[in-house]
């Protein structure tokens, strides 16, 4: 346990250093010493000490830092949700979008892009707000369709999520066909991006992420029991019905918050927990914080590549996560298959 705690501490430090490195990268490169001195000054003076006239510090604190923190939180949240879903469904292929969250958010965002393109509410665009609302609505529909007398049927959750996602994808395609002028905006949103994000977006996701992390980590031991099988878990005194219901809704809510802010970003919630499990085992008391840290790392690396590899032109981060995550996931699967045949 001590070795695992040490590993988590070292990983956290590595994440902080990676964040500082990410601040230095971009169309305007900034020296490491300037970043460190600016952060120290910022801690002493606060945001009031950051002037728009000081272009370098303005880029650090108002352009790059909110984006970097948001990418880390989003990656950590999606990875944590993915690890939880994989335990609940006892399926390493489950990801944060299993309950139709992505399709609901995409459909809501499509409606907002077409009919309310410039609407704002409390500093947030209609796209953010309506995407979140529809993500929650779809989640509730899937949850209600999957309820039985004995609780939530996980197979029904998977099936309902697939069917509803297919129907909503068809509606999105229809809307794009009718309103083809907005098609590129819709496609871009569904690829995910942290471009032009502010501290308001960071605050939107920060509190839910912290609360969700504490609640899921609290159930780490319960998840370890659950993966042994529902009958064994019930025999050991675990209320499986209540645990699955609460964690399914919690993770769906957290994923909805992430999707509404960043768009749909694939592979993070699938590959990171799978990687942690294959390398370090399936103790969720360790898996959940490790998934949080490495999910943040993976997302940060992908976003840094997305915004810096082509200079001033930015690639949607979802493309990078798929290009890196897809082949890496195949490698992990092959390694896992070989280890089981030996």
Q: Considering just the CA atoms, what is the radius of gyration of the chain in Å?
A: 21
Torsion sign (Cα): 121, 196, 289, 240: positive
Domain boundaries, the chain: 28-341
3-state secondary structure of 120: strand
pTM of the model: 0.89
pLDDT in 10s for each residue of the chain, 342 residues: 558 888 899 999 999 999 999 999 887 888 888 888 888 887 777 655 555 447 888 888 888 999 999 999 999 999 999 999 989 888 777 888 878 888 899 999 999 999 987 777 766 788 888 999 999 899 889 888 888 777 777 788 888 888 998 999 999 999 999 998 888 889 888 899 998 888 888 988 898 888 989 999 999 999 999 888 888 888 888 888 888 888 988 888 888 888 888 888 988 998 999 888 887 888 999 999 999 999 999 999 999 999 988 877 889 999 999 999 888 878 877 776 666 555
Tally the residues of the chain.
342
The CATH code for residues 28-341 is 1.10.3470.10
Torsion sign (Cα): 254, 255, 260, 262: positive
Containing H/E element for 174? helix 154-178
């Amino acid at each position: 346990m001590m070795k695992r705690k040490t590993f988590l501490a070292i990983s956290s430090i590595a994440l902080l250093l990676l964040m500082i490195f990410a601040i230095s990268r971009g169309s305007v490169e900034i020296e490491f010493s300037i970043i460190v001195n600016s952060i120290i000054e910022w801690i002493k003076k606060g945001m009031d000490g950051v002037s728009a006239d000081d272009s370098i510090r303005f880029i650090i604190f108002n352009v790059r830092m909110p984006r970097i923190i948001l990418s880390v939180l989003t990656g950590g949240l999606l990875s944590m949700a993915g690890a939880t879903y994989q335990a609940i469904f006892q399926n390493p292929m489950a990801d944060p979008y299993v309950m139709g969250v992505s399709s609901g958010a995409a459909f809501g965002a499509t409606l907002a892009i077409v009919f309310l393109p410039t609407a704002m509410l409390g500093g947030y665009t209609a796209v953010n707000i309506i995407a979140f609302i529809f993500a929650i609505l779809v989640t509730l529909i899937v949850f209600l369709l999957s309820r039985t007398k004995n609780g939530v049927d996980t197979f029904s959750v998977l099936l309902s999520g697939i069917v509803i996602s297919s129907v909503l994808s068809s509606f999105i395609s229809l809307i794009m066909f009718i309103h083809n002028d907005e098609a590129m905006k819709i496609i871009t949103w569904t690829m995910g991006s942290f471009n032009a994000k502010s501290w308001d977006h960071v605050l939107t996701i920060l509190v839910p992420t912290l609360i969700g992390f504490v609640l899921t980590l609290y159930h780490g031991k319960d998840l370890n029991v659950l993966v042994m099988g529902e009958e064994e878990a019930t025999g050991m005194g675990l209320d499986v019905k209540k645990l699955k219901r609460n964690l399914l809704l919690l993770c769906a809510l957290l994923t909805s918050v992430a999707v509404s802010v960043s768009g749909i970003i694939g592979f993070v919630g699938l590959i990171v927990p799978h990687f942690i499990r294959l390398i370090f085992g399936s103790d969720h008391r360790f898996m959940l914080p490790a998934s949080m840290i490495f999910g943040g790392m993976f997302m940060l690396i992908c976003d840094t590549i997305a915004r810096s590899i082509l200079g001033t032109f930015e690639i949607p981060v979802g493309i990078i996560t798929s290009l890196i995550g897809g082949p890496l996931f195949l490698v992990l699967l092959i390694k896992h298959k070989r280890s089981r045949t030996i």
